[in-house]
Structure 1
């Protein structure tokens, strides 16, 4: 773009910008806004071969398994230990020669080359070994395993009954004794979720979930006995709950963790369900005291649990700020003995096909020079005077010069999620971004600031967008929008 045309394009884009969250809040049900771009509305409409890939630490890994299970075209799936990055840049490692895989796929389906790209298992996935909890990993130890199809004939759903604070053995009946069969209750504080990490991790410290023991303090917890032998799971665990609540709008978050003998708890996977969506269609308010049954599907995973470790299921009624909390605190009462945890168990010792990948390849990165150092921060704070708690996140890439074109690029994102005590109407999320581009005496930057708050009846969005050429502000727009809560 040369001359003045860049300025016209920039202003056109600024005029068309706005806070995405406003549009999302206006569509709190699965209406045409969401359905028009969803493959699941008609899997038969997909008539081309599919190579689907993601990572277990990403937010989109479920899309891979759903495609493999539902489309009726030639298909392959690949899920590594990665976060939201391409597999040849995969973090946590190991990274793989993903670009070579993609070229082989296109050579076969676009050029007709018989290169064996459809040989081997339908799904190749990284079976992760147990690791201590950490907010970032360089590598995830494990191995590649393959499944011939999904659902896989080698994976058995094994159901475990839930008793008073423990996970029972398959087929076990509830033991008799004092308290047997009595409901187990939980009303989680808003602090549950501070160590949940990002929905779509970039493996940027510290956006993976940390030790879950503090989270478990505000949760209803079920532990297995120490495992007598190694257990491997591959797929989506499910939790079937029989329950009552005392409010018309409620949610439940279910977390599955690997608990080491020293007590350290590493989250393996999780799932969140708005309980007003039990009917399968439009949401309906819950009747306090009425007994319901819900199935909570957790995100897919591939995880090994070593002997001596425990499997832990944790249930909470909020998971803030990963999920926006309901309008009021909710007391959830779970019926033990009538509730189960089902794990997708892959037999240990099942021979794995020899799966290997070439070494990662990519073009040589552009020559750059760091002009300002990046900054990463994730701080949890709690004031015991006014009971205000906060999660503060800074992700600043610094300033980088691209030497060949003399362009300096900078990006800084600051997020804050705060609340007071257990006042569900006090939750507040704020995201402020600055993007800047400089070359010689030419300089532009945009600054956005978006705040989301709520009360029992509405969401409130306050947002600003400012654009600068040099120090002159050339564009400015403010938004103040309220949207009614729709059983959320």
Structure 2
């Protein structure tokens, strides 16, 4: 593919203010790093990233690729640590707490008062910063003119690491809470904070909560989850929003929803990427994301005619069919565009699901599918380990593998070989008639592409806790034996099925370690007649293919030394105990700031254990370490978190240990029992 040269842009010399204090309304100070064009003579628009991951060492290597590049192009750029994180004062009580959002409004007002800022500000962020960019925009502060939100969501219950389809995300909820417990216990830097750093460190560790207790305490979509979900009042947002996602990222559905919800200027961009910024994206192709941002900022902060307002509503990567393992670094495909979302060019292609086969059908044919015997589905609880991670960062270890083994232990419907290529773009869904022999049950639905060699590629997935079949706010138990018609939406996707390949739907009543199992061993009966797969078919049309995008530009220089450590994922099976153990390790590696010797090393281990015939056996364990030092100043935080369950309750334990120069100086433990609420 030809990539056009990016438009030439200014290359200002950059001045970095390494540590700046921002005072808030209640006297708390937030820590910021600021990049400025060194030759600027007039006040400039500003770009703000506002996250809790430590500007000094946690995201330092990534920050320069964004904020250093924005300053080179003529913007003031800031990386601010949220209250209770990094060198900032205070305690972080939860994700997206009202304090966090009010603080952001204070930061925007402070920016307007700075001599180097003209009062026009954009917020940018991936994940946490993408969330709060939308949430702050919904508060409508006058300075905020534009938002670039990457891998985020408009609905905190529907699309985040806590619940999916009303089911507890075993693979994400405790691991993310464990990570934040460790992050929130890290000390301020003495060279920034001063002599009282140790006193503040201990106060922070004493007061920081374990988020898992709050998240498990809200198993329904209640007011807690509505807070920060901009879908509740999208009209409140007046800033121009560029919403960005990736087909390997679980938040991607919000891109299409925001395009339909927002009344302010909004454009969408979805690539083949995982949970990463698109200029550093894996799998590729990565793009000149800095250029995309500058086009957005130029128009909405400076009033320049950059063409941002004339972009298609959606630019999306349409992946070509690719056998498993053939696209580890880059997914072949092309860019496609839509001028409106929902698009009039995308229609529902229906496949009638019956027995162990799926035949194309529409209208009356779908309703007159041949009746078959109801299929009892008593899934081994260990089904699902081949699906990879829910939240993927592009590493090979987290990607899904061949689904054929799990297909063999699921209820499957497989089409005849396709006679021609089939492209889809949007949200697939499956409708089924099911019954269960217990009051609680779940369904996991996988859409796969089956190649002639029998390998099965995961295209997308859908989850539904059947007590949430009608409402996430008011779940109702099943009546054992009663049949229910249920609709299972799958994660939004863009995909091309190759001619000669087959479409497969696989259904299971368990999906570990993604989803916490139902409280009792349950048999779900699937009635074959009337089952339907709806695919958002988008016929190929060269007139709606997109322009190739530019390759990433070189990163600005940074005085950082980064040692990367690859992620790992292992699955062990004990055939005697019938026990499965899935273990994953992640690490930010080691980052050394060559200007002052600040050094950080971080490791994460997640372990998921269960016996495939015992719903009371699942255990999730998470270990975290975060070591931060400079010369004689030497600290380390360690956390251990564990979650298990009975048929009636979840049990969670957390332990926090802090060390100085290798000696233990602080410990704290939590134990919590939370009743299960229709999960």
Q: Aligned equivalents of 1:469 and 1:362: distance in 2?
A: 39
Q: Aligned equivalents of 2:368 and 2:486: distance in 1?
A: 24
Alignment equivalent of 2:571, drawn from 380, 394, 397: 380
Aligned to 2:529: 337
Aligned to 2:551: 359
Q: Aligned equivalents of 1:196 and 1:135: distance in 2?
A: 17
After superposition, residues 241-260 of structure 1 pair within 5 angstroms as: 241-260=432-451
Matched, 1:318 2:538: no
Alignment equivalent of 2:409, drawn from 215, 218, 243: 218
Alignment check: 8 A CA contact 2:272 2:319 kept: yes
CA, structure 1 residues 411+155, in 2 after alignment: closer, same or farther (shift >3 Å)?
same
Q: Aligned equivalents of 1:185 and 1:92: distance in 2?
A: 39
Matched, 1:237 2:431: no
Aligned to 1:290: 482
- Larger displacement relative to structure 2 (244-253 or 164-173): 164-173
Deviations 1:309-360 (A, max 9, x none): 0011000111111111111122111222211000000012452244232321
SS of the aligned residue for 1:202 comes to coil
Q: Aligned equivalents of 1:8 and 1:64: distance in 2?
A: 43
Kindly tell me the number of residue pairs found equivalent between the two proteins.
485
CA, structure 1 residues 138+173, in 2 after alignment: closer, same or farther (shift >3 Å)?
closer
Alignment equivalent of 1:25, drawn from 184, 194, 216: 216
What CA RMSD, in Å, does the superposition of the two structures yield over aligned residues? 1.9
Deviations 1:212-232 (A, max 9, x none): 011112211010100000110
Report how far residue 365 of structure 1 moved. Answer: 5.1
SS of the aligned residue for 1:338 comes to strand
Alignment equivalent of 2:251, drawn from 43, 47, 60: 60
Alignment check: 8 A CA contact 2:368 2:530 kept: no
Report how far residue 105 of structure 1 moved. Answer: 0.8
Alignment equivalent of 1:276, drawn from 442, 463, 467: 467
Deviations 1:377-420 (A, max 9, x none): 21111112222210011223443322222122111111110012
Matched, 1:159 2:363: no
Provide the TM-score with structure 2 as the length reference: 0.69
Stretches of structure 1 that go unaligned for 5 or more consecutive residues are: none
SS of the aligned residue for 2:286 comes to coil
Alignment check: 8 A CA contact 2:643 2:651 kept: yes
Stretches of structure 2 that go unaligned for 5 or more consecutive residues are: 1-191
SS of the aligned residue for 2:254 comes to helix
- Larger displacement relative to structure 2 (73-82 or 375-384): 375-384
Aligned to 2:678: 487
Report how far residue 369 of structure 1 moved. Answer: 4.0
CA, structure 1 residues 201+375, in 2 after alignment: closer, same or farther (shift >3 Å)?
closer
Report how far residue 136 of structure 1 moved. Answer: 8.0
Alignment check: 8 A CA contact 2:237 2:262 kept: yes
Q: Aligned equivalents of 2:315 and 2:199: distance in 1?
A: 47
SS of the aligned residue for 2:361 comes to coil
Matched, 1:413 2:604: yes
Alignment check: 8 A CA contact 2:521 2:615 kept: yes
Deviations 1:38-81 (A, max 9, x none): 01112222222211001111121111111012222221000000
Q: Aligned equivalents of 1:446 and 1:97: distance in 2?
A: 37
SS of the aligned residue for 1:351 comes to helix
Alignment check: 8 A CA contact 2:619 2:642 kept: yes
Aligned to 2:187: none
CA, structure 1 residues 354+458, in 2 after alignment: closer, same or farther (shift >3 Å)?
closer
Alignment check: 8 A CA contact 1:136 1:205 kept: no
Report how far residue 238 of structure 1 moved. Answer: 0.5
Alignment check: 8 A CA contact 1:375 1:395 kept: yes
Matched, 1:98 2:283: no
